[in-house]
């Protein structure tokens, strides 16, 4: 059975010691198990981008990413003309109905060739016991859109520890940001009021 284990190394370097490096720091963790590569199945072609599916990060009330089953690699013949990044955990917004957790939707244009090349890279998977550091990367949801407005929800190439491989983030940053939209995703429940009972002194 494949098992992925987290391994946390905490190192503190202060003062002049930091300039010359930390002398008593272990250079490597336990030996890693074998890793193989794979390419996800092609993503389903959907009618439009839906950044609201990114609300799965706020899954406290049973929300689900309805397009997760359609997420995958770029389908053959799909030619994107723009990219859309959907990111959770932005600043909350408040309106007349209350406070909302948000999703930031950013639309990009430009030469998508390098991004497509990066996204066509393989992901890694552990084929045995594998050691991962105990930190979490919030990988944005990424969509590609063709000239007809059809969209695919693409999976970033990932390491065996489910972190993004180099390439996708860097090539996305080279594109031109055309538009940023903040979406209200999940309304925060107001704190329940507490009643305080008092007893009159005799």
pLDDT tens for the 202 residues of the chain, in order: 444 444 433 333 333 333 334 333 334 455 577 889 999 999 999 999 999 989 888 875 556 677 777 899 999 999 999 999 999 999 999 999 999 999 999 999 999 999 999 999 999 998 888 888 888 888 999 999 999 999 999 999 999 988 999 999 999 999 999 999 999 988 887 766 665 655 655 5
Whether 85 maps to a domain, the answer reads yes
Is residue 193 in a domain? no
Question: Does residue 5 lie within any of the structural domains?
Answer: no
Q: Report pLDDT for 137.
A: 87
Q: Is 86 a member of any domain?
A: yes
Q: What is the reported pLDDT for 192? A: 63
Please check whether residue 26 lies inside any domain of the structure. Answer: no
**For residues 67 and 116, what is the distance between their CA atoms, to the nearest angstrom?**
20
DSSP 84-113: EEEEE----EEETTEEEEEEEEEEEES--H
Residue 154 belongs to what H/E stretch? strand 151-154
CB–CB of 181/50 below 8 Å? no
- Any residues with CB less than 8 A from the CB of 172 and at least 6 apart, and which? 83, 85, 108, 115, 142
Q: Which residue range(s) make up the domain with 139?
A: 35-126+135-187
Residue 99 lies in a domain: yes
**Residue 26 contacts residue 9 (beta carbons within 8 Å):** yes
For residue 11, give the H/E element and its range.
none
- Helices (H), strands (E): how many in the chain? 3, 11
Q: The pTM is what?
A: 0.76
Residue 40 lies in a domain: yes
Residue 64, domain member (yes or no): yes
Structure confidence at residue 191 (pLDDT): 67
Domain count, the chain: 1
């Amino acid at each position: 059975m494949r098992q992925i284990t987290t391994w946390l190394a905490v190192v503190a370097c202060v003062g002049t010691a930091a300039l010359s490096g930390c002398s008593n720091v272990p250079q490597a963790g336990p030996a890693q198990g074998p890793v193989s590569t794979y390419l996800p199945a092609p993503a389903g072609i959907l009618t439009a981008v839906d950044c609201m599916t990114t609300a799965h990060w706020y899954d406290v009330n049973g929300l689900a990413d309805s397009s997760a089953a359609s997420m995958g690699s770029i389908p053959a013949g799909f030619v994107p003309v723009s990219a859309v990044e959907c990111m959770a955990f932005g600043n909350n917004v408040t309106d007349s109905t209350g406070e909302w957790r948000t999703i930031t939707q950013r639309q990009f244009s430009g030469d998508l060739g390098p991004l497509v090349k990066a996204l066509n890279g393989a992901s890694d998977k552990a084929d045995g016991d594998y050691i991962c550091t105990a930190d979490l990367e919030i990988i944005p949801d990424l969509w590609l859109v063709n000239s007809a407005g059809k969209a695919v929800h693409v999976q970033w190439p990932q390491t065996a520890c489910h972190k993004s491989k180099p390439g996708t983030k860097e090539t996305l940053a080279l594109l031109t940001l055309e538009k940023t939209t903040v979406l209200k995703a999940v309304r925060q429940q107001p704190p329940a009021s507490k009643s305080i009972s008092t007893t009159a002194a005799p």
